[in-house]
């Protein structure tokens, strides 16, 4: 009897794994397939203009948000949601199935083996990685290096891909990518051509750019591997000043971070955010060793999957520390900033 039960379970596991292999193929399912379930093309066009381009994207958007799209009534929202539910299973799955699904996750090298080891292999897809530190701790240098290393095929079948770079502080320098490309023996112009750059001027503009990003990811499924926002809080800090606007700022920030999280899962890309620091007025009262903290409060802290703090070492050395992670222990790694980007300290 035990053997029969065991074989039945094995058959079930194989069937479930096959189901997830099919799910892999439909990972970037375009919303046009909802037409087969009675949703008209004009409504689908409205969804795409709002940055909802995949069936998974429909599943990730609330009915309230869908009904706010011009020309989409509540009756249409119900029809769209029903059609999406027929294509994607909205229910529970076993941990084994979820483990199969997690095999789609890839890691992007930072350019430093020691830093990669600290991160368990590199910057993870389907997750938000946030680095914070004072000025000159290497946040933007890390962003520039990742713009190049993302394009290099790596371990575990990672094929490399394009990058989207949203710059909020006018710190992106395309010529900085050239020596980094030389370090990895890559064609300079080809590397620059694979980085899609946008300069955000307000927090609203930053949010609007994410709709364009979603559209771009949908146009070229599986081609883009990393979305960089350098830095995530700078414009929110300017647009919302004083304690009176703090609640409004955090609400808008939460919406943007939710959008980033959904984009990372919907299109299987890594999201890399840099963040600034601020003086903590309460730190002197509690005798903390470091009276500075990353800005964004609990909203940003909970949204980020992995948080890394950066601090200066001697000369060009920098120290990275795991500040928060769901699966990595609290540890440190040292790296250096070179002309060829982020590298190991011993180089």
**Does one domain contain both 139 and 44?**
no
Q: Are 36 and 94 in contact (CB under 8 A)?
A: no
Q: For position 172, what pLDDT does the model report?
A: 95
| pLDDT-based confidence at residue 184 (cuts at 50, 70, 90) | very high
Mean pLDDT of 202-223: 92
Q: Which of 257, 221, 261, 9 is nearest to 124 (CA)?
A: 261
**Does one domain contain both 198 and 158?**
yes
User: Would you say residue 98 lies in a domain?
Assistant: no
Which residue would you say has higher pLDDT here, 61 or 163? 163
CA distance 291 to 267: 38
**Does one domain contain both 56 and 115?**
no
Residue 43's region, left for phi above 0, alpha for psi from -120 to 50, else beta, is alpha
**Does one domain contain both 247 and 335?**
yes
Lowest mean pLDDT among 147-156, 253-262, 287-296, 320-329: 287-296
Q: For position 2, what pLDDT does the model report?
A: 45
User: Would you say residue 212 lies in a domain?
Assistant: yes
Count of structural domains within the chain: 2
Mean pLDDT of 221-250: 89
Q: What are 245-271's pLDDT values in tens digits?
A: 888 988 999 999 999 999 999 899 999
Q: For position 50, what pLDDT does the model report?
A: 87
CATH number at residue 21: 1.10.150.20
CATH number at residue 256: 3.40.50.300
**Does one domain contain both 120 and 82?**
no
Mean pLDDT of 145-157: 89
Helices (H), 1-158: 2-25, 41-49, 55-59, 63-67, 74-87, 95-101, 113-118, 139-149
Domain extent, residue 52, equals 2-87
User: Would you say residue 92 lies in a domain?
Assistant: no
**Does one domain contain both 43 and 140?**
no
User: Would you say residue 97 lies in a domain?
Assistant: no
Q: Is 263 helix (H, G, I), strand (E, B) or coil?
A: helix
For residue 2, count CB atoms less than 10 angstroms from its CB and return exposed for 0-12, middle for 13-18, buried for 19 or more. exposed
């Amino acid at each position: 009897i035990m053997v029969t039960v065991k074989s039945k379970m094995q058959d079930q596991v194989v069937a479930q794994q096959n189901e997830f292999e099919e799910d892999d193929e439909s990972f970037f399912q375009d919303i046009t397939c909802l037409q087969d379930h009675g949703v008209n093309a004009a409504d689908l066009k409205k969804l795409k203009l709002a940055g909802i381009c995949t069936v998974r994207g429909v599943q990730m958007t609330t009915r309230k948000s869908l009904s706010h799209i011009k020309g989409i009534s509540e009756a249409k929202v119900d029809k769209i949601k029903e059609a999406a539910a027929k294509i994607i299973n909205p229910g529970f799955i076993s941990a084994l199935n979820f483990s199969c699904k997690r095999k789609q996750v890839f890691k992007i090298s930072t350019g430093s083996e020691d830093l990669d080891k600290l991160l368990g292999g590199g910057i993870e897809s389907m997750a938000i990685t946030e680095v914070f530190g004072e000025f000159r701790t290497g946040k933007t240098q890390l962003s520039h290096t990742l713009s190049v290393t993302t394009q290099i095929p790596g371990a575990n079948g990672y094929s490399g891909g394009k990058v989207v770079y949203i710059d909020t502080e006018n710190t992106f320098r395309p010529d900085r990518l050239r020596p980094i490309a030389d370090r990895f023996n890559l064609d300079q112009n080809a590397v620059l051509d694979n980085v899609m750059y946008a300069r955000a001027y307000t927090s609203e503009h930053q949010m609007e750019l994410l709709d364009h990003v979603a559209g771009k990811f949908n146009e070229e499924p599986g081609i883009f591997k990393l979305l960089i926002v350098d830095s995530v809080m700078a414009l929110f800090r300017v647009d919302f000043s004083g304690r009176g606007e703090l609640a409004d700022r955090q609400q808008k920030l939460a919406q943007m971070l939710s959008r980033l999280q959904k984009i990372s899962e919907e299109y299987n890309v890594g999201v890399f955010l840099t963040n600034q620091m601020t003086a903590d007025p309460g730190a002197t009262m509690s005798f903390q060793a470091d009276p500075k903290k990353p800005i964004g409060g609990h909203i940003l802290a909970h949204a980020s999957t992995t948080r890394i703090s950066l601090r200066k070492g001697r000369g060009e050395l920098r120290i990275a520390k795991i500040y928060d992670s769901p699966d990595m222990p609290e540890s440190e790694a040292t790296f250096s900033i070179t002309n060829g980007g982020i590298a190991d300290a011993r180089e």
